[in-house]
Amino acid sequence: MTLVLKGVSKVVGSQTHIYPTDLELEKGTMNVLLGPTLSGKTSLMRLMAGLDVPSTGKVFWDGKDVTGQRVQDRKVAMVYQQFINYPSMSVFDNIASPLLLMGKSRSEIDAAVRDTAELMQLTPMLDRKPLELSGGQQQRCALARALVKNAGLVLLDEPLANLDYKLREELRTEIPKIFERSGSVFVYATTEPEEALLLGGNTATLWQGRITQFGRTPDVYRRPVNATTARVFSDPPMNFLTVSKDGPEMSFSGGQSVPTPEGLLGQPNGTYTAGFRPNHLELNPNVGGAMAFKTTLRVTEITGSETFVHLDHQGQRWVGLVHGVQSLTPGQPLEVFLNPAHVYIFGQDGNLVSAAPYSEAA
Amino acid sequence: MAKITLDNLAHSYLPYPSSEDDFALKELNHDWMDGEAYALLGASGCGKSTLLNIISGLLHPSQGRILFDDKDVTNAPTAARNIAQVFQFPVVYDTMTVRDNLAFPLRNRSASPEYIASRVNQIAEMIGLEDVLNRKARGLTADAKQKISLGRGMVREDVNALLFDEPLTVIDPHMKWELRTQLKSLHHEFGHTMIYVTHDQAEALTFADKVVVMYDGRVVQIGTPQELFERPAHTFVGYFIGSPGMNLFDAEIDGTTARIAGATVHLDGGYAPGNGKIKIGVRPEFVKLTVEKTGVPATIKRVEDVGRHKIIRLDVDGHEVSAIAGEDDAISEGAQHITFDSGGINVYVDDWRIAPEGKAT
């Protein structure tokens, strides 16, 4: 089973929600749609499900054109951020409801419901009503209802956004296991880079109605093709600064000069944008010719084992994530260090010119 | 600003509570110090909203008193308590301009127009709303609207306390950073007593000077982020703080050594655990995988690449154990043992941490 989008777009009035998009999702894969609110995740999912008809392009399921087909006639399950259950029915009947509609036998239904309930840790609650459950349990009930019918395409739209942090953490490790067993095409929308990384599989980064990159999740994370992808796939945000390339030398604004990285050598001299992730910023000069930057400390946040340092570098905001608990005074100058191996170089158009050398080795 | 004292406070939603289990909030004595930033952290249903509602006066406790600067306010209504609150969803007046929204609490208390103008400008600048001050709130993004709510919560300097009930839940991750940093700067600037309720450990730890961890209606630990990370007082704190949470191992203890899964582990001090169920807790950050034949036998089940580090999931004696390795660390498939940083080991008896002998903590 494969889901293929060919030139699919969605225009509503004068607004383009989705620009023409090509995407191919294989059976048995977890596919994350990662992007901020209003980047087009839900619009794209509605097009995949058949809830909306695309303005242009076609949707194929297993090679068959299903573009105009109603959602009821497709094997699709969808779960939303705001979970929906039938309040007057027991948890068992809620989970069983899609199977009843499909006309399954009683014994089949019973086995499937109990199996799914076990997976979602709902077995002790099967006889209760949804409103007697905690928020997390209610959401798991809705998830179970989506999973039980074994749909070929399962669309999860920020399904964990309303859950407690710890429950989210547990379900995030559960969901890939569930999907592995199902063999369906899973599509999972989230605003959180960390969630994409924890889910693994493939990730499509979205920005203003366009897919900016699609590939294996760790590859998209480590080898973003442009600054937009890098920005979408970085939390805390990626830090940026201007560099200028002059032959074999590249100099950083407010920092030293370093040898021009290989990917940039063949490019014309001029200014480029360098980007690096917060966890690669160091407070101690690294071995191996780390670059030093003079910044001003705005605020620190301590997580218990690590410290976020919020910095001002020549009017630009930077964030660093450093090991240990650092007691630093806000408002003070702070020298920070960066290894050139962790620096990505983007061109004026935002496209990647030179990947961070460390990511090539990974 | 005020010190807030909880004296013998407890609450049950039942009319005639008969046992401790009937209490949504179990007996609690605590001082929220003047000018500190606290986070109230726990899973849903742990009692944190109950506690917040008692402090704000939305709920009358079934037992005990609440004092603001030693003055009993237990029976005072919310309006008389002089507190500002910010909720999960933005509460703004759509038809008013951003400026009028921010000025609203000050106008209600008949502040002078000059003061209102300068104070509103100051707040708007701090939360980055100066460009939209004259726009109607209608049509602004959810982020901007929640900024207005935050700004309105901060605009009065004379409040006894600022209460936040999961204020960043609806905000995009990128914007969360900005707003949280701004809240933190505002706290440095104005020194309000702040209580911030959240189920998100990252938010709680990064925001607060002190984090109050609640579990099952009870406060299980009050400490700095570092204390909660290094010395969790209860196994729940170990589990709830940190991602993944602390690993727990059934153990037998003899003085300065522990036996886990047939292996001997050295402890940082001597312990006399007495009776009860003994466990040792080690955070994934303090678990190291080794190719040496020493330590606790472990089998690698899978390695999760989560970007800035790797999470190694291991099987130890039938239990899942997690270890954290660096982004660039190579993970040897031949590794069959784990070792612990002895400074990262805590000992628990019936889920409560015990200190080594001769040490207070």
Structure confidence by residue, pLDDT tens digits, A310-328: 999 998 999 999 988 888 8
Angle of CA points A166, A171, A177, to nearest 5°:
145
Spatial contact of A260 and A250, defined as CB atoms under 8 Å apart: yes
Would you say A229 and A220 are in contact if contact means Cβ atoms under 8 Å apart?
Answer: yes
Q: In total, how many domains does chain A have? A: 2
Q: Which of B173, B199, B206 sits opposite A303 (nearest CB)?
A: B206
A336 to chain B, closest Cα gap in Å: 19
Please tell me whether residues A133 and A228 are part of one structural domain: yes
A352 within 8 A of A345, measured Cβ to Cβ:
yes
Q: What percentage of chain A carries pLDDT values higher than 70?
A: 98
Domain residue extents for chain B: 4-240, 247-354
Is the minimum CB–CB distance between B223 and chain A shorter than 8 Å? no
Last residue of some domain: A191, A215, A232? A232
CB atoms closer than 10 angstroms to residue B55: 26
- Which residues of B are less than 8 Å from A331 in CB distance? none
How many other β-carbons are positioned within 10 Å of the β-carbon of residue A99?
Answer: 21
Task: State which residue of chain B sits closest to A198, comparing Cα positions.
Answer: B306
Pairwise CB contact (< 8 Å): B328 & A237: no
Structure tokens at A21: 């998009």
Inform me whether the C-beta atom of residue B205 falls under 8 Å from chain A C-beta atoms.
Answer: yes
Torsion angle of the four alpha carbons B155, B159, B161, B164, in this order, in degrees rounded to the nearest 10: -30
Most B-contacting residue of A166, A168, A240, A307 (CB-CB within 10 A), to test interface: A166
Give the pLDDT score at B44.
76
pLDDT on residue A286: 66
Is pLDDT of A362 > 80? no
Higher pLDDT, A189 or A136: A189
Closest chain A residue to the Cα of B231, Cα to Cα: A304
A297 contact residues in B (CB cutoff 8 A): none
User: Which two three-digit tokens encode residue B228?
Assistant: 């909660």
Boundary (domain end) residue, out of A209, A232, A255 = A232
Question: Does residue A288 belong to the interface with chain B, where contact is any CB pair within 8 Å?
Answer: no
- Cβ(A101)–Cβ(A88) below 8 Å: no
What does the pLDDT read at residue A246? 93
Are the Cβ atoms of B44 and A135 closer than 8 angstroms? yes
A202: containing domain? 2-232
Task: Give the pLDDT means over successive 10-residue stretches in chain B (361 positions).
Answer: 90 90 92 93 86 93 94 92 88 93 92 94 88 92 88 88 87 79 81 89 88 94 94 95 93 92 91 89 95 93 90 94 91 90 94 85 58
**CB of A362 less than 8 A from some CB of B:** yes
The pLDDT assigned to A218 comes to: 94
Distance (Å, rounded) from C-alpha A182 to C-alpha A323? 40
Using alpha carbons, select from B185, B227, B188, B179 the residue that is nearest to residue B205.
B227
Is A305 within 8 Å of chain B by CB?
yes
Band of residue A309 on the pLDDT scale cut at 50, 70, 90: very high
Which pLDDT tens digit goes with each residue over A14-71?
999 999 999 999 988 899 999 998 899 999 999 999 999 999 999 999 999 999 888 8
Q: Could you tell me if residue A38 is left (phi over 0), alpha (psi between -120 and 50 degrees) or otherwise beta?
A: left
CB-neighbour burial class of residue B281 (10 A; exposed 0-12, middle 13-18, buried 19+): buried
A253 shares a domain with A202: no
Best of B209, B327, B328 to substitute, by most chain A Cβ atoms within 10 angstroms, is B327
Enumerate residues 6+ apart whose C-beta is below 8 A from B113. none
pLDDT per position as a tens digit, A203-257: 999 999 999 999 999 999 999 999 999 999 998 889 999 999 999 999 988 778 8
What are φ and ψ of residue A66, in 5° steps?
-120, 20
Average pLDDT, chain A: 90
Return the pLDDT at B298.
95
CATH of the domain at A116: 3.40.50.300
The DSSP secondary structure of B214-266, one letter per residue, reads EETTEEEEEE-HHHHHHS-SBHHHHHHSSSS--EEEE-EEEEEEEEETTEEEE
Instruction: Reduce the DSSP state of residue A294 to 3 states and report it.
Output: strand
Q: Tell me which chain B residues have a C-beta less than 8 angstroms from the C-beta of A358.
A: 328
Same domain, A244 and A308: yes
pLDDT tens-digit readout, A165-186: 787 887 787 777 777 777 789 9
Q: Which of A232, A250, A280 is the last residue of a domain?
A: A232
Contacts of B231 in chain A (CB under 8 A): none
Q: Which of B262, B265, B302 is nearest to B281 (CA)?
A: B265
- Residue of chain B nearest A193, judged by CA positions: B173
Tokens found for residue B348: 């628990």
Report the predicted TM-score, pTM, of the whole model to 2 decimal places: 0.86
Say if residue A110's pLDDT is above 60: yes
B90-94 contact pairs (CB < 8 A, 24+): B90/B142, B90/B145, B90/B146, B90/B148, B90/B149, B90/B170, B91/B149, B92/B137, B92/B145, B92/B148, B92/B149, B92/B152, B93/B137, B94/B136, B94/B137, B94/B138
Where helices occur in B84-172 by DSSP H, the ranges are: 98-108, 113-126, 142-154
pLDDT level of residue A149 (50, 70, 90 thresholds): confident
Residue A284 has pLDDT above 80, yes or no: yes
Please check whether residues A98 and A164 belong to one and the same domain. yes
What is d(CA B282, CA B269) in angstroms, rounded to the nearest whole number? 15
Question: Does A300 share its domain with A208?
Answer: no
The burial class, CB within 10 Å (0-12 / 13-18 / 19+), for A72 is: exposed
What gap in Å lies between CA A139 and CA A130, rounded to an integer? 9
Number of Cβ atoms within 10 Å of the Cβ of B169:
17
Task: Please indicate if any CB of chain B lies within 8 Å of the CB of A71.
Answer: no
Tokens of B145: 């609207």
- Both A151 and A205 in one domain: the answer is yes
Which of A191, A192, A236 minimises the CB distance to B177? A236
Residues A52 and A139 in one domain: yes
CATH of the domain at A301: 2.40.50.140
| ipTM value greater than 0.90 | no
The partner residues of A76 in beta bridges, in order of sequence, read: A153
| Residue B361: predicted pLDDT | 58
Q: Is B29 on the interface with A (CB under 8 A)?
A: no
∠B230-B236-B242 over CA atoms, to 5°? 50
- Contact at CB, A301 and B142, closer than 8 angstroms: no
Q: Answer yes or no: are the C-beta atoms of B51 and B214 closer than 8 Å.
A: yes
- Contact between A319 and A280 under an 8 Å Cβ cutoff? The reply is no
Reported in sequence order, the residue ranges of A208-339 that DSSP labels E, i.e. its strands, are: 210-216, 239-246, 249-252, 257-259, 270-276, 281-282, 291-302, 306-313, 316-323, 333-338
Residues from chain A that touch B181, judged by Cβ atoms under 8 A, are 298-299, 301, 310
B238 in reach of chain A (CB within 8 A): no
Find out whether A145 and A98 touch, Cβ atoms under 8 Å: yes
Nearest to B268 by CA among B344, B352, B354, B351: B344
User: Inter-chain contact A302–B188, Cβ cutoff 8 Å?
Assistant: no
- Topology at the third CATH level for domain B4-240: Rossmann fold (3.40.50)
Burial of A204 (0-12, 13-18, 19+ CB in 10 A): buried
Domain B247-354 is found in CATH 2.40.50.140:
yes
- Indicate if A223 and A133 belong to the same structural domain: yes
